[in-house]
């Protein structure tokens, strides 16, 4: 599948925009999902630890001795441990519940939800290390939360709430560690977005393929229709032309009538040449789009053949073709030689057609290394300034060309432009009325 340059570039731009949008929406969704999942977990941890702080009594925690052997005899200690273990059993995803108490500005672990007596996740009487974090709990009565924290046992959140005593002071606290409940792993999202990108790529390629196919079908239809219509018109026109020449050659006809008939015959010939051009152009149009293989063609051979084509086709107007000396064999350009020959034949035959007798046509070459410019300069009728932009549009003939006796269909340059663009080249024209025209073709060079 080959896309025309312009369309392909537009497709690439659309595709890039699409990818960027998908990536942005992906990043946004990931961040948003992660943030809201985190907020949910934190909120849930807060609510749960807060409700525990209402259940657990401050004086119970406070009264538990911080020395294990003393705690062993404390019924409050064993009662609290059983209560915490039971709560943990019913509270989904809680890893552990622990209690803390403050003694002389230091925070210590007290009983926790480990069911076995005298066994705690954090040893009874062990000092709580992260005093900075916990400070707000005891000093300001705040519930603190932390997470997500990742370790070998998974991802989890921590929440600690103060437990108020009867005088409104916070001397003990309860903490919970909760496993992350919503799996918002970033890699899951990343995989989803990669799939989205791959899917969008396939979609874009598919749409482009369809679009290209439709265009080929459209060109075929248009070309077939035009070719058929022109063909049908050409046959009766040819009959009229022959009929007219038989009548004109009849010696018995009055001269005045003969003159009129000659004019009609000229118009008929013009119409025949127009239908011929349409048939040729539509066939070439179809051919260019469907069979444009990029290969190397020798520029010198193309130009020599094109000049020969022009000379063979036209009556001699004693016009000389001056080809710049630097034109040598071995300069290869991108594009099929027969199509490039058709393009240069069109440009050169225009230069020839619109030039006065005994004038010259200069063919110059500027080699830029990777590109090459071939300019065809004539000293003919030129093109009005405001009409130059229209001459590649197809069916367009400048006013001065129409007013002259020079025949044309307005198809040649349209087709030429198509050919050059399909060879990844550029076609330009500059002109000065009554002074001449320069048509420049830029082609890409390829290694011979
Ligand atoms: P045509 O068959 O009419 O020459 P083209 O498509 O080849 O059709 O050219 C389109 C129009 O561009 C011409 O009708 C003419 O007005 C103008 N044109 C093209 N080449 C030249 C030229 N070398 N000198 C003057 N006018 C030109």
Q: What are phi and psi of 2, to 5 degrees?
A: -130, 130
- For 418, the domain range is 293-448
- Is residue 297 located within the same domain as residue 442? yes
Measured in Å, residue 393 CA sits from the centre of ligand 1 at 11
Residues pairing with 157 in the sheet: 178
Say what the pLDDT of residue 295 is. 58
Instruction: Report CA dihedral (211, 213, 217, 223) to the nearest 10 degrees.
Output: 90
Look at residues 131, 159, 179 and tell me which one is the last residue of a structural domain. 179
Instruction: Report the nearest atom of ligand 1 relative to the CA of 415.
Output: 6
Residue at 143 is within a domain: yes
The response to whether residue 411 sits with its C-beta less than 6 Å from ligand 1 reads: yes
The response to whether residue 401 sits with its C-beta less than 6 Å from ligand 1 reads: yes
Which of the listed residues 408, 430, 434, 437 should we mutate to test ligand 1's pocket, taking the one with most ligand atoms within 8 A of CB?
Answer: 408
Say what the pLDDT of residue 394 is. 74
- Is residue 47 located within the same domain as residue 171? yes
The response to whether residue 383 sits with its C-beta less than 6 Å from ligand 1 reads: yes
The response to whether residue 415 sits with its C-beta less than 6 Å from ligand 1 reads: no
Measured in Å, residue 229 CA sits from the centre of ligand 1 at 24
Contact yes or no for 327/300 (Cβ under 8 A) = yes
Say what the pLDDT of residue 229 is. 72
- Is residue 30 located within the same domain as residue 172? yes
The response to whether residue 417 sits with its C-beta less than 6 Å from ligand 1 reads: no
- Is residue 428 located within the same domain as residue 341? yes
Which of the listed residues 397, 415, 433, 436 should we mutate to test ligand 1's pocket, taking the one with most ligand atoms within 8 A of CB?
Answer: 397
- Is residue 263 located within the same domain as residue 355? no
Residue at 204 is within a domain: no
Instruction: Report the nearest atom of ligand 1 relative to the CA of 346.
Output: 7
Look at residues 291, 323, 351 and tell me which one is the last residue of a structural domain. 291
The response to whether residue 410 sits with its C-beta less than 6 Å from ligand 1 reads: yes
The CATH number of the domain holding residue 266 is: 1.10.287
Give the up-direction half-sphere exposure of residue 139: CA atoms within 13 A in the CB hemisphere.
8
The response to whether residue 76 sits with its C-beta less than 6 Å from ligand 1 reads: no
Say what the pLDDT of residue 3 is. 46
- Is residue 218 located within the same domain as residue 75? no
The CATH number of the domain holding residue 101 is: 3.30.450.20
Measured in Å, residue 391 CA sits from the centre of ligand 1 at 7
Measured in Å, residue 310 CA sits from the centre of ligand 1 at 15
Measured in Å, residue 407 CA sits from the centre of ligand 1 at 10
The response to whether residue 442 sits with its C-beta less than 6 Å from ligand 1 reads: no
Q: Considering only CA atoms, which residue is closest to atom 21 of ligand 1?
A: 350
Measured in Å, residue 220 CA sits from the centre of ligand 1 at 26
Residue at 203 is within a domain: no
Which of the listed residues 280, 412, 427 should we mutate to test ligand 1's pocket, taking the one with most ligand atoms within 8 A of CB?
Answer: 412
Say what the pLDDT of residue 1 is. 42
The response to whether residue 408 sits with its C-beta less than 6 Å from ligand 1 reads: yes
Sign for the CA dihedral angle at 22, 24, 27, 28 comes to negative
Q: What are phi and psi of 183, to 5 degrees?
A: -85, 100
DSSP strand pairing (320-323 vs 360-367): parallel
Q: How far is 259 from 272, CA to CA, in rounded Å?
A: 20
Residue at 282 is within a domain: yes
* Number of compact structural domains in the chain: 3
- Is residue 103 located within the same domain as residue 45? yes
pTM of the model: 0.48
The response to whether residue 144 sits with its C-beta less than 6 Å from ligand 1 reads: no
- pLDDT tens digit at each of 448 positions of the chain: 444 455 566 666 777 777 777 777 777 777 777 777 788 888 888 989 998 999 899 999 999 999 988 888 889 999 999 999 998 888 778 899 999 999 988 899 999 998 887 788 888 899 988 767 788 899 999 999 988 888 887 888 999 999 998 888 899 999 999 988 765 555 566 666 677 777 777 777 777 776 666 656 665 666 666 667 777 777 788 888 888 887 888 767 777 777 888 888 888 887 887 777 777 666 666 555 544 445 567 888 999 999 999 988 777 889 999 988 666 767 888 888 888 998 999 999 999 999 999 999 999 999 898 999 999 999 999 999 999 999 988 778 999 999 998 888 787 898 899 889 888 899 999 999 999 999 999 999 887 6
- Is residue 308 located within the same domain as residue 247? no
- By C-alpha distance, which of 435, 431, 439, 328 is closest to 373? 439
- Is residue 162 located within the same domain as residue 224? no
The CATH number of the domain holding residue 375 is: 3.30.565.10
The response to whether residue 409 sits with its C-beta less than 6 Å from ligand 1 reads: yes
Say what the pLDDT of residue 285 is. 61
- Is residue 170 located within the same domain as residue 32? yes
Measured in Å, residue 438 CA sits from the centre of ligand 1 at 11
Q: What are phi and psi of 92, to 5 degrees?
A: -60, 130
Measured in Å, residue 291 CA sits from the centre of ligand 1 at 26
Instruction: Report the nearest atom of ligand 1 relative to the CA of 439.
Output: 23
Measured in Å, residue 261 CA sits from the centre of ligand 1 at 28
């Amino acid at each position: 599948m080959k896309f025309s340059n312009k369309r392909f570039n537009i497709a690439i731009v659309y595709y890039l925009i699409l990818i960027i949008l998908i990536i942005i929406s992906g990043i946004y969704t990931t961040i948003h999902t992660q943030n809201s999942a985190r907020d949910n977990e934190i909120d849930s941890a807060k609510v749960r630890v807060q409700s525990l702080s209402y259940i657990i009594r401050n004086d119970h925690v406070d009264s538990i001795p911080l020395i294990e052997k003393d705690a062993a005899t404390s019924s409050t200690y064993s009662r609290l441990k059983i209560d915490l273990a039971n709560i943990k059993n019913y509270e989904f995803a809680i890893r552990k519940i622990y209690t803390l108490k403050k003694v002389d500005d230091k925070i210590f672990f007290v009983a926790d939800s480990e069911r076995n007596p005298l066994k705690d996740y954090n040893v009874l009487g062990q000092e709580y290390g992260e005093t900075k974090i916990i400070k707000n709990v005891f000093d300001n009565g705040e519930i603190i939360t932390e997470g997500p924290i990742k370790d070998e046992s998974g991802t989890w959140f921590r929440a600690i709430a103060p437990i108020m005593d009867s005088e409104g002071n916070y001397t003990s606290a309860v903490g919970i560690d909760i496993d992350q409940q919503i799996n918002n792993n970033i890699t899951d999202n990343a995989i989803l977005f990669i799939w989205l990108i791959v899917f969008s790529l396939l979609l874009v390629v598919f749409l482009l393929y369809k679009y290209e196919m439709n265009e080929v079908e459209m060109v075929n239809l248009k070309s077939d229709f035009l070719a058929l219509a022109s063909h049908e018109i050409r046959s009766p026109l040819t009959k009229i032309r022959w009929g007219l020449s038989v009548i004109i050659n009849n010696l018995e006809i009055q001269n005045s009538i003969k003159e009129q008939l000659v004019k009609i015959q000229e118009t008929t010939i013009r119409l025949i040449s127009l239908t011929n051009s349409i048939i040729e152009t539509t066939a070439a149009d179809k051919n260019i789009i469907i069979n444009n293989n990029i290969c190397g063609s020798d520029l010198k051979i193309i130009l020599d053949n094109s000049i020969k084509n022009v000379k063979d086709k036209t009556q001699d107007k004693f016009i000389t073709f001056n080809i710049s000396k630097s034109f040598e064999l071995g300069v290869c350009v991108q594009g099929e030689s027969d199509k490039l020959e058709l393009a240069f034949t069109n440009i050169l035959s225009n230069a020839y057609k619109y030039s006065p007798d005994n004038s010259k046509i200069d063919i110059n070459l500027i080699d830029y290394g990777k590109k090459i410019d071939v300019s065809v300069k004539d000293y003919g009728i030129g093109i009005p300034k405001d009409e130059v932009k229209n001459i590649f549009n197809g069916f367009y003939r400048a006013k001065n060309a129409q007013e002259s006796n020079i025949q044309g269909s307005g198809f040649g340059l349209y087709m030429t432009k198509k050919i050059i663009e399909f060879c990844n080249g550029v076609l330009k024209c500059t002109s000065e009325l009554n002074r001449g025209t320069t048509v420049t073709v830029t082609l890409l060079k390829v290694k011979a």
